[in-house]
Amino acid sequence: MKAIGHCPVYSPDVRVLCHRVQNDRIFRQLCVTVCMQDKFEPTSVGKNPWILLSKCPINVRSVMGDLSEALKEATKDVHQQAENTEFMINFQKGHVTLHEFKLVMSSLYYVYEALEGEIERNKENPVFSPLYFPLELHRKSALEEDLEYFYGPQWRKKINFPQSTKNYVERLHHIGRKEPELLLAHAYTRYLGDLSGGQVLKKIAQKALQLPATGEGLAFFTFQHVTNATKFKQLYRSRMNSIDFDSATKKKILEEAKTAFLLNVKGL
């Protein structure tokens, strides 16, 4: 790659040369990296690989690219972690017991009860309102249906609420009440995940647990009002990108998304 001049964002005195212009995807990727790690990746720029974000003279937001892309990039490692927990590895092989599955569904019930309670609280708040899709996404009532199927009508008295799930729930309430601009990170982590890997897990669970083909026990994985998951995810991403956050808030959202993933790793 040929250097074409001084970086348009970083001041000449730090002597970082960018290979492409501001809107280039690679360049935006660099900016995402900077925002996440406070440094350039050595492989991405020329001779002077390190630069601190704090030295950047210009607001990084303008070149940071879409929030949806930044979220995907920022959560790459934690996503891998989430895929590779012992439970998930076994699950993907179809090694899951009904007992384990019921425990996860119980924890998910508490998580969605908290998440959707906080979403309702913030549904008119501009930092979240474009992402308010209760009919298409909300899972609480689907989980109630599943838990009734697994535990019977007295399910509320029978389900577990482990400490790790309580921590997740507490974080959700804190965010919803005190830092609603971070609620997006939690909604993104759960709903886009459910619309992605969740669909694979549904088929595995159905087979491994010999659940009825008619869908009982799997309402959680069934999005009746989403006809095309890929298109819906695109819409959701564009809604996330439409919300006007400053760069500091964007950074906090990226951090919160990582926290959300880790709460899933530990809390379910």
Q: Which of 27, 101, 168, 188 binds ligand HEM (CB under 6 A)?
A: 188
Which of 117, 162, 180, 193 touches ligand HEM (CB under 6 A)? 193
Cβ 107 to ligand HEM shortest distance, Å: 12
- Contact between 88 and ligand HEM (CB under 6 A)? yes
Q: Choose between 219 and 263: whose C-beta lies nearer to ligand HEM.
A: 263
> Least distance in Å: CB of 169 to ligand HEM?
15
Binding-residue total with ligand HEM (CB under 6 A): 18
Contact flag: residue 143 with ligand HEM (CB under 6 A): no
Asked if 247 interacts with ligand HEM (CB under 6 A), we say: no
Closest of 218, 223, 91, 214 to residue 149, by C-alpha:
218
Interface with ligand HEM (CB under 6 A), residue from 6, 72, 166, 252:
72
CA–CA gap between residue 202 and residue 217 (Å, rounded): 10
- Which residue of this chain has its Cβ atom nearest to ligand HEM in the complex? 197
Report the residue number, 46 or 197, with the smaller CB distance to ligand HEM.
197
Identify which range of 39-47, 53-61, 71-79, 138-146 contacts ligand HEM by CB under 6 A: 71-79
Q: Does 197 bind ligand HEM (CB under 6 A)?
A: yes
- 60, 71, 205, 243: residue in contact with ligand HEM (rule CB under 6 A): 71
Beta-bridged to residue 201, according to DSSP, are none
Of 34, 192, 211, 243, which lies in the binding site for ligand HEM, with binding defined by CB under 6 A?
192
Is residue 184 within the footprint of ligand HEM (CB under 6 A)? Answer: no
- Cα torsion 89, 186, 245, 175 to 10°: value is -140
List interacting residues with ligand HEM (CB under 6 A). 71-72, 79, 82-83, 88, 92, 188-190, 192-193, 196-197, 200, 233, 261, 264
